[in-house]
Amino acid sequence: MSTFAKRALNNCRTDNGRVSVILRKPWDTLGYLGQEVIVAPGYARNYLIPKQIAVYATEPNRSLYKRTLEGDALRLSDTERSQRLLCARIQEFRLIFYRSTKEDGSLYSQVRASDIAEKLQSTPLKNLGVQDRNVRVEKAMDAAGEFEVKVEPVKLSPGVWVPLKVEIISE
């Protein structure tokens, strides 16, 4: 490790031996772009810093990311407004599936994430670019009724999951 890296590491250590880093990219388990998070020193040194996911939270880096985020906030206001409208459109939308059921009311085949992504391609929301990996089904859809799933449209910022209503009607 270089002298500069050692000095930077010492400047951003916390009382309990962990280090403070600023995220250069949104990261599911840690936070969003520009957020300062506290992680283990080995995780920062061996993974986050080499893969350019984060930088050490030194004073120059803090001021740099603060200025960058302020500039981005001004530019993103229009896109943020359009993304909020798109989120509202998705939340109001309802996907309907017609499936045959057994005598006890359960479905012969469940509705899966791939079914939802495929059905979205034939709706007015087809330009969202939702694939089956962008659909999170939290509760098994194995009976007729209403369900809520979360979708991550490609048109929105990464990591933004929007609820979508799914209704399964018995044939």
> What CATH number has the domain bearing residue 138?
3.10.430.100
Q: Cβ distance 26 to 158 under 8 Å?
A: yes
**Is the pLDDT assigned to residue 101 strictly greater than 60?**
yes
Phi, psi of 15 (to 5 degrees): -65, -30
**Is the pLDDT assigned to residue 17 strictly greater than 70?**
yes
Distance between CA atoms of residues 103 and 112, nearest Å? 21
| Global pTM value | 0.53
**How many separate domains does the chain show?**
2
What share of residues in the chain are helix, strand, coil (percent, to 5)? 40, 30, 35
The pLDDT tens digits of the residues spanning 46-78 come to: 999 999 889 998 888 888 877 776 666 555 566
Q: What pLDDT sits at residue 78?
A: 67
Distance between CA atoms of residues 45 and 9, nearest Å? 9
Q: What is the CATH number of the domain that holds 33?
A: 3.40.5.10
In a domain, 32, yes or no: yes
**Is the pLDDT assigned to residue 5 strictly greater than 80?**
no
- Give the max Cα distance, the chain: 72
Q: Are residues 99 and 161 in the same domain?
A: yes
Range of the domain at 151: 93-170
Q: What pLDDT sits at residue 27?
A: 76
Q: Are residues 52 and 110 in the same domain?
A: no
